[in-house]
A and B are shown apart, each in its own frame.
Chain A
Amino acid sequence: MEKSLPSPTTQNPFSAFIKNNRGVLITILCLLLLPFALALVDGQPISSVLANDPGQSKFYQGLAIEIFILAIFALSYDLLFGITGLLSFGHAMFFGVGAYLTGIMLKSFGWGILPILCLVFVAGVIMALLFSVVLPRVKGITFALVTLGLAQVFYIVIQSRELADYAGAEIGLQGVTPPDFLNPISQRLRVYYLGLVVLFLVYFFYKRFVDSPTGHVCVAIRENEDRATMLGFNTFYFKLVALIISAITAALAGAMHGLFSPIIRPGIASSHYTIAALLMVLMGGIGTLDGALIGAATFRLLSFWLEKWFGGASQVIIGLVYILLVLFLPYGIVGTWRSRQLQIKQGWSNLISRFTGKRESV
């Protein structure tokens, strides 16, 4: 692995972008080909994948769409918690607002997709402003408790009997029919690619945001808020910006969930869902946007397989994973990889040299 330093004259922005994001671009390419690869493994003709015939490929596309939605949700939580350092226990409220607004507007009012998306954006901003009322006064754990309380109220309200006609009480919102061109059953491949596009648009936007001056101030606030204040930044505005962006993204993920899943359960607005986002971010690595994606994929696949193998006991195992992760892998997958990159490479080359007898230099 030798890296030639790019000379500034020959570098154009496009090739620099490709060079810096090689891993991500390869991942996108793999995901683009995934439905067809799965069909090939299963012995299904390509044409039937294009026609959205049922099969293994279609099933795993559905799982992948769920992962995309969770990944967007985890990204938004990582921006709020990992980058800006605001510990919120009410993040699922944004997701729930997005999902329920989409469902109710489609089912009861018959709105189109675009107006709904605009509404969801506005709702996300309003929710963020609601949270921000307490932002300048309370810090740290108290902020977490306030957000927990507010989200809990929302969770109880959507389950109430008075709203049963719209939100479906404890059972959840059923019978939402998404428009034909986005139907998750008959047009799954299209939904899959759309989800992929949205996910990576959000991802690159977030990467750009974190690299921007505003993002740097957010990181500074996480590291030491007093010092950021002393340097002359009004930290409230920066926290508010991060909160609004995060809320809009989470609401967008919620809207996608509302369009994709057959039942919108009230559980998506509960504190357990926020904790799930926390677990995803923790698994992937706090404050490393890549980690949110990897964490979401790991979390969903892990819970999928655990449920398949252990049934009801899977929650115990997820709890155990939580504890073991905190005790032995506190920086998550990406964080540990980054801090041990050199050691891991050394270990691999040692291992290879044992078989080949040659010693590679790293």
Chain B
Amino acid sequence: MNTLLGSFRKNRNLWITLIALLIVFVLAIRGLTDQEAVGGERYKNVVITILRGFSTGSIIFLVASGFSIIFGLMNVLNMAHGALFMIGAYVGWTVAVRPDTAVDAFTPIALLTGGFMLVPIWDRLLDKREWLSRSAHIWPWLGLILTLVVLVFTLPKYPITSWDVGSYEISPVNFAFAASQGILEVPEAEQFVGISPAIGLGGIILGGILAGITVAGFVINRRPATAGASEAEPFPWNSLIYCLALIALGLLVHFFNTSISNYLLSLDTTWLFILAILVAVLTGAALGILIETTMIRRLYETHFYVLMLTLGVNAIIIEIVRTIWGAPEFTMHRPSIFAGVGDGCPAESFAAMMEYKCATIRVLGGRVRTYNELFIPVLGIVVLIAVWILLQRTRLGMIVRAGVQDSEMVEALGINVQRVFTTVFALGVGLAALGGVIGAPSTGLTTTLGDSLLINMLVALSIGGLTSFPGAAAGGLIVGLLQQFIIKYGQIGINIPFMEEPFKPTPPLVPAMTVLLMVIILLVMPQGLFGRKE
């Protein structure tokens, strides 16, 4: 009892805010209960709205958690996080709806990455070479031009069977529509045209290797003359192994392209969906590593410029997505275990849902969509627990928590903070991509997806506390619940005393209320609900 009182005194503002939020929540629930209905059906609307709030909140949390860990550890406000979330959604859609395109695109990407993996080896071999250092300021640029020439001539020639944004018959919108009807049809695979396959593949590998040499050249030039790749370190053989493995994998996929595509197409959509999640998360993590190592690493000291930089990355990603997938909105089908509508549906019980793979389940007389309102929240909780364990129980988590407190001190203790930064950035972006692919079937895919989510996420994090992991979860949940309650009230109206008509909140009020809540909470507690005090 004493400790409780003490905690209350210490965090008075927090407790008062939480109690006020709870009172608002209870009032909102009271308003939604249907007084005329009997028994459990009275709470039909409440349950559905809360589940929807959990669903929205889970997506926000998935993105916000990565963002907040990155911000806490590296002080990088990654404004491209929303765009990377969107990339996750679009890549996941591609794997789920057009697996053949994903297989086609794998080969050039693997070949390029394989060549790129050789950077540490070139770094070791070319550093401190007399004949190179004389032209040190020229040859990386020559390498860059050569790389571009090779890639411009070979990369567009590689046959990727894809869609055409311009013509309706083979537009993403049409493929998405067909997939939602349960038809996964793909056009015939294209072949190399006007160039022999050996030259095409060899050119891409060469381009990757040249890009690696170029990057190594720039790295060597930027390094101070006294420091160098230490001779004591073992020769980076493992990067050579990665390179060969990636190139072999890429070539293997190229030669068995058709059979792999056909196998994927014959798979059940649930397996394809799991594959889509995996590919999207890996793509996100790889993009994170790329952005971190090439751009953000150079600007750690100047936080404002990192912000600007990520804004630029955001604009580029949105434009690339618009070029590849087109501006019109399209949908992603749900995996088959959440899409059944035939007999036995809507399911009466949980067991029946599993048996008939129903799209909806009957709860208290109302229909609940199994994917949107059950699967997404469950996944959100699973990720919450997984990241919590990662942060609390592993060595990496320990370093991250220490780094959030004081990253200079961690560096002074002899820990390679650079590598931890890269890992955490990849993890955060991977989580965002996971959110994207999970959210895609419920939200649909548009090029404005990233922006609207970014705003929601920033509001959620401001409410919960910018660098706090529990804050990300609480903020996401509060924003999600608030939004869904207002949408529900928009349908049924609020009975305000002394007014004839019930007041119906209009759609613009949804973001307005979340922002209002954010402003109020920040006025009471400038560091957010669970943020650290300055």
Determine how close the nearest CB of chain A comes to the CB of B200; give it in whole angstroms.
Answer: 25
CA distance A142 to B519 in the complex (A): 10
Determine how close the nearest CB of chain A comes to the CB of B314; give it in whole angstroms.
Answer: 8
Given A137-B522, A141-B466, A162-B506, decide whether A320 and B295 contact each other with a Cβ distance below 8 A.
no
CA distance A195 to B312 in the complex (A): 31
Q: Is B219 at the interface (CB under 8 A from chain A)?
A: no
> Are B458 and A330 within 8 A (Cβ)?
no
Residues of A within 8 A of B309 (CB): 322-323, 326-327
> Are B462 and A146 within 8 A (Cβ)?
yes
CA distance A278 to B312 in the complex (A): 11
Interface size class of A (residues with CB under 8 A): 35 or more
Interface residues of B in 489-534 (CB under 8 A from A): 506-508, 511-512, 514-516, 518-519, 522-523, 526
CA distance A278 to B314 in the complex (A): 15
Given A138-B522, A150-B515, A150-B519, decide whether A320 and B312 contact each other with a Cβ distance below 8 A.
yes
Given A137-B526, A326-B299, decide whether A145 and B458 contact each other with a Cβ distance below 8 A.
yes
Q: Is B35 at the interface (CB under 8 A from chain A)?
A: no
The listed residue with most B CB atoms (<10 A of its CB), out of A134, A150, A319, A321, is A319
> Are A152 and B455 within 8 A (Cβ)?
yes
Residues of A within 8 A of B507 (CB): 160
- Secondary structure type dominating chain B contacts: helix
- Secondary structure type dominating chain A contacts: helix
Interface residues of A in 71-99 (CB under 8 A from B): 87
Produce 1/0 per residue, A128-156, CB < 8 A to B. 00000110011101100110111011001
Given A137-B526, A149-B515, A156-B511, decide whether A320 and B316 contact each other with a Cβ distance below 8 A.
yes
The listed residue with most A CB atoms (<10 A of its CB), out of B305, B308, B523, is B308
Given A149-B458, A152-B455, A162-B506, decide whether A133 and B308 contact each other with a Cβ distance below 8 A.
no
* Beta-carbon nearest neighbor of B315 in chain A: A319
> Are B508 and A323 within 8 A (Cβ)?
no
The listed residue with most B CB atoms (<10 A of its CB), out of A145, A148, A161, A330, is A145
* Cβ-neighbour of B515 out of A139, A153, A162, A323 (below 8 A): A153
Determine how close the nearest CB of chain B comes to the CB of A80; give it in whole angstroms.
Answer: 14
Determine how close the nearest CB of chain B comes to the CB of A236; give it in whole angstroms.
Answer: 14
Task: Identify the A interface with B (CB < 8 A).
Answer: 87, 133-134, 137-139, 141-142, 145-146, 148-150, 152-153, 156-157, 159-162, 271, 275, 278, 282, 312-313, 315-316, 318-323, 326-327, 330
Residues of A within 8 A of B308 (CB): 278, 282, 322, 326
CA distance A87 to B311 in the complex (A): 14
* Cβ-neighbour of B323 out of A141, A142, A160, A312 (below 8 A): A312
> Are A313 and B323 within 8 A (Cβ)?
yes
CA distance A157 to B506 in the complex (A): 10
Given A313-B323, A316-B316, decide whether A146 and B311 contact each other with a Cβ distance below 8 A.
no
Produce 1/0 per residue, B89-101, CB < 8 A to A. 0000000000000
* Beta-carbon nearest neighbor of B459 in chain A: A149
CA distance A157 to B512 in the complex (A): 8
Q: Is B152 at the interface (CB under 8 A from chain A)?
A: no
Residues of A within 8 A of B295 (CB): 323, 327
Determine how close the nearest CB of chain B comes to the CB of A163; give it in whole angstroms.
Answer: 9
